[in-house]
Amino acid sequence: MQKSKVGLVVVVVFIMGSLILTHIPAMAHGKGGESAKGGMMGPGPSSPEHWAPITSALRHKEELGLNEEQVKSLKALKADYEKGAAQKAADLRKAERELGELLTKDPMDMGQVEAKVKAIEGLRSEIRLDRIRTIEKGKAILTKEQWQKLVSLMKARKKRPVVKGG
């Protein structure tokens, strides 16, 4: 009975971990998770945290009127973020594996389990805050008018219907 409970816990943790980790690579490439609501659930999909403003600015550089220095700065900022996010994503995967190992112990050392869970949540927070800080740095590279135009472009893009098939 005890072993089946431990097995169930391990399976649940691995499923939850894998679901979470599927979002980390997207974050490393400038894409946030998908939250349908704002408020207590976090910012909504129209928030810059849920789209890739730096990538979008680079994609729309002509429309935004970006100069060469802005493009260079945004590319460097994006590269730095992606490098850091990739490392933190690897650290997070490692911590999740270590937690899985701790959960297979019988009896479990709850002190170690709690410490590992807190470390994992700390890494997730760091990844999210790094993304938000990077967006703010990217925003500072743009003029206020360029930022407003970028936001308008992204809102217009969100309103376009998605056509599937073809």
- For 2-11+52-154, CATH number out of 3.30.1300, 1.10.3470, 1.20.120, 1.10.287 equals 1.20.120
**CA 34/CA 49 separation, integer angstroms:** 10
**CA 93/CA 85 separation, integer angstroms:** 12
**CA 157/CA 155 separation, integer angstroms:** 5
What angle, 0 to 180 degrees and rounded to 10, lies between the N-to-C axes of helices 2-21 and 68-104? 170
Express each pLDDT in 56-82 by its tens digit.
999 999 999 999 999 999 999 999 999
Express each pLDDT in 49-60 by its tens digit.
667 999 999 999
Q: Is the pLDDT of residue 22 over 60?
A: no
Please state, in angstroms and as integers, the Cα–Cα distance from residue 155 to each residue in 11, 51, 127, following that order.
40, 10, 25
Q: Mean pLDDT in the chain?
A: 79
> What's the whole-model pTM score?
0.65
**CA 98/CA 35 separation, integer angstroms:** 28
Q: Is the pLDDT of residue 2 over 80?
A: no
Please state, in angstroms and as integers, the Cα–Cα distance from residue 83 to each residue in 78, 87, 110, following that order.
9, 6, 33
- Top pLDDT among 16 and 120 is at 120
- Continuous segment of H or E residues that includes residue 7: helix 2-21
**CA 51/CA 22 separation, integer angstroms:** 16
